[in-house]
């Protein structure tokens, strides 16, 4: 884990985000290096999803800078961000219910066009064999785990360099979580950078190179995955205090 090039892929500099009068992010600074898996943990309402969405400008940062590969994207449109190599799988596996698995995957190509669609769909079917079996099934009829796999696969269809995942383990059985996390590890092995927002701190930190802990819209702690896993404060708050 130490051989990761320390070239910054995404950086937050003192970012503030408001929902009307409510401040959801306070002076958030963090960064993700190329090729890393970085996770962000924190309790409900800490502002994790807000941080992730602010990369797409929804909501927009009111102060500070978001820099992606050396370019400031704080004020760029969501379309610009999506078509320049950042993909996200939003919280709560938002698949298109009346579309089939294949159609959902094709929707994932919208930011970049369909030039590689066939090849990439095959690739997704190799990563997630379950999806292949269900390729013509409407996604609303699939199980939660399958929908989550589909949501991740759909995000991968735009050939991102940086993949943002918001709580991929939400509501899934431990065995499926394991499966999904091991797939993420494989994906990261191909050089993709992954930013993971998770409640499931144990799994997430084991997988990650580094992690951030967010409390009330602020970054409270940071360190390698291992460091955070053994940190007593983290253990108390997020790992059930063993």
Partner 1 sequence: MSSSINIKKSVIDTLLAGLLSLIVFGPVIGILLDGYDFTTRPSLLLTMVAIVMVGRFAISLFVQSEKGQMMLYKHQNNDDGVIVLPPGHKSKMVYIVPIAIIIGLVAPFVATKYILTVLILGLIYVLLGLGLNIVVGLAGLLDLGFVGFYAIGAYGLSLGYQYLGFGFWSMLPLAAIMAAVAGAILGFPVLRMHGDYLAIVTLGFGEIIRLILTNWTSFTGGPNGVYAPLPTLFGLEFERRAKQGGTPFHEFFNLPYDSGLKYVFIYLSLFMVVCAVLYIKHRLVKMPIGRAWEALREDEIACRSLGLNHVLIKLSAFMMGASTGGLAGVFFATYQGFVNPTSFTFFESALILAIVVLGGLGSTVGVVIAAFVLTVTPEMLREVADFRVLIFGLLMVVMMIWRPRGLVRITRTGFAVRKGVA
Ligand X SMILES: Nc1ncnc2c1ncn2[C@@H]1O[C@H](COP(=O)(O)OP(=O)(O)OP(=O)(O)O)[C@@H](O)[C@H]1O
| Segment contacting ligand X by CB under 6 A, of 42-50, 149-157, 201-209, 223-231 | 42-50
**Residue 188 binds which of ligand X, Mg ion, partner 1, none (CB < 5-8 A, kind-dependent):** none
Q: Is 24 in the site for ligand X (CB under 6 A)?
A: yes
Residue 107, Cβ density class (10 Å: 0-12 exposed, 13-18 middle, ≥19 buried): middle
- Binding ligand X by CB under 6 A: which of 19, 75, 97, 186? 19
Residue that has been written with the tokens 């999806």 in this structure: 131
CB 161 within 8 A of CB 9: yes
What is the C-alpha separation between 189 and 61, in angstroms, rounded? Answer: 32
- Which residue, 124 or 163, is less far from Mg ion as judged by CB? 163
x-marked contacts with partner 1 along 24-53 as a string, rule CB under 8 A: ------------------------------
- Binding ligand X by CB under 6 A: which of 44, 70, 232, 240? 44
Element holding 29 (H helix, E strand): strand 22-33
Q: Is 80 in the site for partner 1 (CB under 8 A)?
A: yes
- Which residue, 48 or 134, is less far from ligand X as judged by CB? 48
Q: Is 42 in the site for ligand X (CB under 6 A)?
A: yes
Q: Is 49 in the site for Mg ion (CB under 5 A)?
A: yes
**Residue 199 binds which of Mg ion, ligand X, partner 1, none (CB < 5-8 A, kind-dependent):** ligand X
Sheet holding 162-166, edge to edge: 86-89, 162-166, 193-198, 37-42, 210-215, 218-224
First vs last C-alpha separation in the chain = 26
Residue that has been written with the tokens 């991102």 in this structure: 160
What is the C-alpha separation between 86 and 68, in angstroms, rounded? Answer: 9
Q: Is 100 in the site for partner 1 (CB under 8 A)?
A: yes
- Binding partner 1 by CB under 8 A: which of 1, 5, 114, 173? 114
Strands 210-215 and 37-42, sheet pairing: parallel
Q: Is 48 in the site for ligand X (CB under 6 A)?
A: yes
Binding site for Mg ion (CB under 5 A): 49, 91
């Amino acid at each position: 884990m130490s051989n990761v090039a320390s070239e910054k892929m995404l950086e937050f500099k003192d970012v503030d985000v408001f929902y009307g009068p409510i401040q959801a992010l306070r002076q958030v600074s963090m960064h993700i290096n190329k090729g890393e898996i970085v996770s962000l943990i924190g309790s409900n309402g800490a502002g994790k999803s807000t941080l992730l969405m602010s990369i797409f400008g929804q909501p927009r940062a009111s102060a500070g800078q978001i820099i992606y590969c050396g370019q400031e994207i704080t004020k760029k449109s969501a379309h610009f961000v999506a078509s320049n190599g950042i993909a996200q799988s939003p919280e709560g596996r938002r698949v298109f219910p009346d579309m089939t698995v294949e159609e959902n995957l094709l929707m994932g190509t919208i930011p970049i066009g369909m030039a590689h669609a066939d090849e990439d769909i095959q690739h997704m079917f190799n990563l997630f064999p379950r999806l292949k079996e269900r390729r013509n099934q409407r996604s609303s009829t699939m199980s939660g785990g399958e929908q989550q796999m589909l949501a991740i696969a759909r995000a991968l269809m735009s050939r991102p360099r940086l993949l943002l995942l918001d709580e991929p383990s939400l509501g899934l059985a431990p065995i499926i979580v394991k499966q999904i996390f091991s797939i993420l590890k494989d994906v990261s092995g191909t050089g993709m950078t992954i930013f993971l927002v998770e409640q499931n701190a144990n799994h997430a930190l084991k997988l990650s190179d580094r992690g951030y802990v967010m409390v009330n819209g602020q970054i409270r702690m940071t360190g390698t995955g291992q460091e955070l896993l053994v940190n007593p404060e983290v253990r108390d708050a997020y790992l059930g205090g063993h």
